[in-house]
Amino acid sequence: MAPDTVSLRYFLVLAQELNFTRAAARIGIAQPALSARMRRLEAELGTALLARNTRSVVLTTAGAALAESAPSALAALDRAWETARSAAAGELGTLRIGYSLSTGAETAPALVDRLIRDNSGLDVGAVPMATPEISPAVADGRIDAGITRGEQPGRGVRRFLLRRVRMGVQLAQYHPLVEHPEIEIADAAAFPLRLPNPAANPVIHDQMSALFRDIRPHPRFRTSAVSFDMSQRDLRDGATLAPAGEAALSAQPAGLTWRPLRGAPSLTIHLVLPHEQSPLHHRIRAAARTLAHELHWLPN
């Protein structure tokens, strides 16, 4: 059995002082207690470390060897304890984040950058996922956190509002409505409207289509043949509009622009964490809260 580290640290003080009275005073214990510690340490090692007489204390060969090797061993042990404490506090390890493609243009990269900058011991990785898969993946531990557009359903998770963005439409720069700083919902409904694939994000699909529920005649809805076509080819006909949040501006293809829809509700982006949260999850939540405040993602 290895000796306890307290006795080993006491021995190192005594090896420097070579005097029980001075060593005990430096440690802050009584001299008899220090003597008892050293006898127990020698018994555990099965060898004498100190040669004592009434006037002096000297190190034996074994004692000198221990005094030389023990400091580095204790330093390594201290580092191991600190590593364990850091891991328990969520400061070390691998952090896995899943995000919906619609949050990948701005929101997810900003949060990942903040986590990397503030947590040098964390290996942070984020991958795009189908929106309906994110909450289940967080709940069963396949990923540590998720970022979704809309309040997605799912058990075993907690959702925190991360961001509100204005609802508007993407349109070609030569579209008839582009001269309006804000577009009326009824005016937008007069043109073909491209909605996201309901299988990709049913919550957002339903929210966007509900904007035009009471418009007569019913608008013409389309679904893009290619989900998340970053070039937005179908908007270049100069007629089709695509309801989208203001965050679309940060990844706007050339030839397109964005205008807000007057009176439309905001779109929401949520941080998804497991219901039972570790220090790592609290660290993610704190970073998200700070980021949302600094970037004014949640206006009053």
Cα angle at 124 between 118 and 126, to 5 degrees?
A: 125
What is the distance between the alpha carbons of residues 126 and 169, in angstroms, rounded to a whole number? Answer: 28
What letter represents residue 43's amino acid? A
Spans of the chain below 50 pLDDT: 1
Residue 226's pLDDT is: 66
Residue 1's pLDDT is: 46
Angle between helices 20-27 and 5-17 (to 10 degrees): 130
CA torsion through residues 29, 35, 36, 39, sign? positive
Cα angle at 139 between 206 and 124, to 5 degrees?
A: 100
58-68 pLDDT, tens digit each: 989 888 888 88
What letter represents residue 23's amino acid? A
3-state secondary structure of 84: helix
Can you name the residues that pair with 242 across neighbouring β-strands? 170
Contact between 34 and 20 under an 8 Å Cβ cutoff? The reply is yes
The closest of 286, 197, 297 to 250, measured between CA atoms, is: 297
Kindly list the structural domains of the chain, giving each domain's residue range(s) and its CATH number in brackets, ordered by start: 5-88 (1.10.10.10), 93-164+268-294 (3.40.190.10), 167-265 (3.40.190.10)
What is the distance between the alpha carbons of residues 128 and 130, in angstroms, rounded to a whole number? Answer: 7
